[in-house]
Chains A and B, each alone.
Chain A
């Protein structure tokens, strides 16, 4: 498989770009692997890539019931940031952000990571106190964070209504300049191609239907394409983690909810940063193609349907139009939903399980896209060494029994 470069671009131009090789193989599953990863979302593919690159983990397969990147990875609003409150979360997301900063080079694939900054708005006194506190905590952890006044915000984003007369006036914001957005599909494709180059078998249309166990140890998985044996199995299936946990005989402190997003028709550049508001429940950025990318909050009920309720969108649109009155006449083009795996403390689980050799990475809920490389990095370590990396040691299933929760509802708050 050839490297992508200016030379390969020129060479392929000579044949009208009709002879590009396939980006990854489509192998038939072997009977046995050293490690099986379930779920070819960004997190699963990143895990396989780092297992192969950093840990020499042997024969690795990634099993995907649909097509790779067809889950939340290809459905999210792509906000990337690391300005979380508590040390455990902040350091994990910051590791991820550092990996983002070199990811296109690492993968030899343009993931279009664009550090256009992320702004979290505050609309009341308590919001502002929380924002001050979070900015200070971020700086102590070496994470970039600035406090913006309404005047600063107006200068950066002139189209926002920052007047004091709105129902939820904008009183200030935190700003993380290194945050931004990336192209979600490219992240899945880039990790898939890079993992495939290192010999990882990515097997699509292969649904895991059972987890084989013997004397408390994992033996492999049953799939729609036959039994596949492996002494180590890593499960990274986002909204379906509860279904896989049930196959393995335990429960998780996770509930799956619909989360929706939508994009507008493309318009000229009007918004050059990412705007998020917990209080009015909305977030918006403008894609390089010019579409406004808008995300809602979760539907309150649990659901596996990859769609949500109209009234959730209605509330979301109302919030966005209140912030940006000029968007009121923009037409929306597409709307969709994903299934997000929410944890009671709004933090993920990256952990060993009651079954030996079986590892779960889930609970990222509404905000795991930003963590894709970092999640893969620490999960690969956890699987290869059979013990957590320092950065995910706190993110066990067990914390819901010991009480050592990592409450990130303030920073994770709204869906993102």
Chain B
């Protein structure tokens, strides 16, 4: 089982957490302006990264708060967690939000 470090509670078993998919997907600011193509991209299309991936987790069996993590999708190793609104690992590092 993976160990995941909640930014508020510290390290806990993976079974306390739920996965929330790719991070930094921004909800369209002007939904009415969007065409089908852009809506489809927003809803369904993902990077599906092989390697360092920025993603969301929620500590559902604990403090119930959401946070972001950088995880290697091949080794499954966590490279860091950060709270929403925080920068997270440096912009120049692989997997940084673009």
Q: Assuming A303-B76, A304-B73, A401-B37, is B1 touching A310 (CB within 8 A)?
A: yes
Interface 9-mer from B13-21, B25-33, B82-90: B13-21
Is residue B91 contacting chain A, with contact meaning CB distance below 8 A?
no
Is residue A26 contacting chain B, with contact meaning CB distance below 8 A?
no
Interface 9-mer from A57-65, A78-86, A160-168, A249-257: A249-257
A-contact bits for B17-48, CB 8 A (1 contact / 0 none)? 01101000000000000001101110111111
Contacts of A240 in B (CB 8 A): 50
Bound complex: CA A344 to CA B13 (Å): 28
B-contact bits for A46-83, CB 8 A (1 contact / 0 none)? 00000000000000000000000000000000000000
Contact between A252 and B45 (Cβ–Cβ < 8 Å)? yes
Contact between A305 and B18 (Cβ–Cβ < 8 Å)? no
Contacts of A243 in B (CB 8 A): 50
Contacts of B2 in A (CB 8 A): 309
Contacts of B59 in A (CB 8 A): none
Is residue A301 contacting chain B, with contact meaning CB distance below 8 A?
yes
Is residue B9 contacting chain A, with contact meaning CB distance below 8 A?
no
Contact partner of A403 (CB less than 8 A), chosen from B36, B53, B71, is B36
A167 to chain B, nearest CB (A): 19
Chain A stretch 245-296: residues in CB contact (< 8 A) with chain B? 251-256
B15, B44, B48, B74 — most chain A CB neighbours (10 Å): B48
Contact between A252 and B55 (Cβ–Cβ < 8 Å)? no
Q: Assuming A255-B46, A256-B48, A311-B1, is B36 touching A304 (CB within 8 A)?
A: no
Q: Which residue of B lies closest to A399 (CB)?
A: B40
Bound complex: CA A174 to CA B74 (Å): 38
Is residue B98 contacting chain A, with contact meaning CB distance below 8 A?
no
Contact between A305 and B75 (Cβ–Cβ < 8 Å)? yes
Is residue A242 contacting chain B, with contact meaning CB distance below 8 A?
yes
Q: Which residues of B contact A (CB under 8 A)?
A: 1-2, 13-15, 18-19, 21, 36-37, 39-41, 43-50, 53, 55, 71, 73-76
Query: Can you report 28 residue pairs joining A to B where beta carbons are below 8 Å apart?
Result: A242-B49, A243-B50, A251-B45, A251-B46, A251-B47, A252-B48, A255-B21, A255-B48, A256-B48, A256-B50, A300-B18, A300-B19, A302-B48, A303-B76, A305-B76, A309-B2, A309-B14, A310-B1, A311-B14, A344-B43, A344-B44, A400-B43, A400-B45, A401-B36, A401-B39, A402-B40, A403-B36, A403-B40
Question: Other CB < 8 Å A-B pairs besides A253-B46, A301-B73, A402-B40, 18 of them?
Answer: A242-B48, A242-B50, A251-B48, A252-B46, A253-B45, A256-B48, A300-B18, A301-B19, A301-B55, A301-B71, A303-B74, A303-B76, A310-B1, A311-B13, A344-B44, A401-B41, A403-B36, A403-B40
